[in-house]
Amino acid sequence: MRNRLISGRLNKRRPLRWIFTGGIITCALFLIAAKKVISWTSTDKYCMSCHIHPYAEQTWRPGTHYNNSSGVVTHCVECHLAPKGKGYLYTKAKHGLKDLYGYLFKDSADINWESKKLIENAKKFVYEESCLECHQNLFPVTLSKEGSDAHLFYTLSSDPPRCINCHLGVGHFDRSLIHARDTSFGVTKSAEAVVFTEPAKVEKFENFTEKIPGTGVSFRMIAVEGGTFRMGSPDNEPLREPDEGPVREVSLSPFWIGEVEVTWDEYLAFFRETSSQGRTEGQVVTSRKVDAVSGPTPPWGAPDQGWGKGSRPAITMTWHAANVYCRWLSMKTGKKYRLPTEAEWEYACRGGTQTPYFFEGDPKKFTSEGFFKKIFRPDTSNIASYVVYKVNSSSRTAPPGQVKPNPLGIKNMSGNVAEFCSDYYSESAYAADSVRVDPRGPSEGQERVIRGGSFKSDARDVRSAARDHTKTKAWLTTDPQMPKSIWWYSDCIDVGFRVVCEPDSQILTKK
């Protein structure tokens, strides 16, 4: 009887054992299969087969992560996923699902690949922990002095830059993003069919074409009649910021302003004549002459970002460099060139209008910010014909012919690149300034005003009253020089400038 009971109990437990054993085997097989799937979907071949980026493999192979002297190949997942044990599976699932969605539901031709390359976007899918996983020795014997200074700053800073701030073009090779001194920049000069021997002669207050003596470079200046306007944005203007008010009535004297932003052709004429390729920043401070214009030292990398020079707006120079350019241009032409005041800039931009833009449109309807605007894209047909901004720029500057001018015949004041003004910046400048005729802004400050949006900007930031300011420390974060450059921003690619010319009293009497 007892044996029967024991036998019965064993018979009852036997199915449970089989279920338990089968469960263990199933789990083991599942884990093995999962590991193989994870391993297979982490190969370069799989990444390239699914990834819809058109140039991923072509730009990876020429770079030092694939083609290097040590023979080590850095694979896709080693940069674009967190290291194993530090969020690897989570980031793999996150990026994998996003890429799968893009592969199934998006047309790769509609994706702005140039925007993906910008540092602010690259940070989202390149992991700092992954960089440090491989590059554990930040001070190898082959490191240059500039590199050592930069890495020392990285290790000691409480808020250091990301590795890709300096090494953005390493994983996917881009010659224009090499972080090194470019001693050949601006040296090569194409033959000019016409070389001007004297500047433009201006006898009346009207539009004219300036000619830079000793070069074949010329540019148009637009005559802006003096007048009175309401500066700033009213409280009910959509998407306005507090520093745009209170609105005040301002009167301005006549002035000329550049039809377009200062181009690379114009800026390189200054660079070739005034720069000294052998100088360092320390030598600039000690050797500057009072009676001569001392120009820029060599830049780091390619200031034009590889987009081309010519008639595109010059970018990455500092406010100081733009101001010195105006001094040089004044000496070359015998006229009074300078940066515009903030009031002059807005007056010229508005072209007689008092609406958010110098053309018709509601900022709320034009903006692409917000969840629903990303799904249901705004109608940009009107704004895109006047402004080079985030939606239509392909994330780079454009030649001036891409847009229509404002009512005064001036192009790109609301976009393409933001522009330096001569004023110091203050949030409360409009409330504190009692000057109503030709105001010049605060008498002192830390940063300078910049106006107009850029190729990176949303529609809210290309309004006529929108204000911003220089960010000197942030824009020089990755400059490895000690002292840092007074001529070139290492971390700002969407700011340029436009010149103003003051008419003398004799010209104004001949109007």
Q: Which of 253-267, 282-296, 330-344 has the lowest mean pLDDT?
A: 282-296
> Which pLDDT tens digit goes with each residue over 98-130?
888 877 877 777 777 778 888 888 888 899 999
Q: Residue 52: what pLDDT?
A: 66
Chain center to CA of 240: 22
> Which pLDDT tens digit goes with each residue over 49-93?
776 666 788 888 888 888 888 888 898 888 999 998 898 889 988
- Do 228 and 173 belong together in one domain? no
Q: Residue 326: what pLDDT?
A: 97
Contact 243, 450 (CB under 8 A): no
Give 464's pLDDT tier (boundaries 50, 70, 90).
Answer: very high
First to last CA, the chain: 127
Contact 430, 417 (CB under 8 A): no
DSSP H or E stretch at residue 290: none
pTM for this prediction = 0.87
> Which pLDDT tens digit goes with each residue over 271-312?
999 987 656 665 554 444 434 678 898 898 889 998 999 999
Owner of token pair 């500066």: 231
Average confidence (pLDDT) over 1-27:
63
> Domain total for the chain?
2
Q: In three state form, how does the secondary structure of 425-463 look?
A: CCCCHHHHCCCCECCCCCCCCCCEEEECCCCCCCHHHHC
d(CA 510, CA 373): 53
Q: Give the number of residues written for the chain.
A: 511
d(CA 428, CA 243): 6
Contact 306, 285 (CB under 8 A): no
Enter the tokens of residue 281.
């920043």
Contacts with 391 (C-beta within 8 Å, 6 or more apart), sequence order: 368, 380, 383, 384, 459
In a domain, 352, yes or no: yes
What are φ and ψ of residue 245, in 5° steps?
-145, 180
CATH number at residue 149: 1.10.3820
In a domain, 6, yes or no: no
Q: Which of 397, 393, 435 is nearest to 417 (CA)?
A: 397
- Do 327 and 416 belong together in one domain? yes
- More confident position, 204 or 6: 204
d(CA 321, CA 327): 10
Give the range of the structural domain holding residue 50, as residue numbers without chain letter: 45-177
How does the average pLDDT of the chain come out, rounded?
A: 87
In a domain, 203, yes or no: no
- Do 382 and 295 belong together in one domain? yes
In a domain, 40, yes or no: no
DSSP H or E stretch at residue 112: none
Judged against a pLDDT cut of 80, whether residue 337 lies above it is answered with yes
Average confidence (pLDDT) over 443-472:
96
Q: Residue 453: what pLDDT?
A: 94
DSSP 199: P
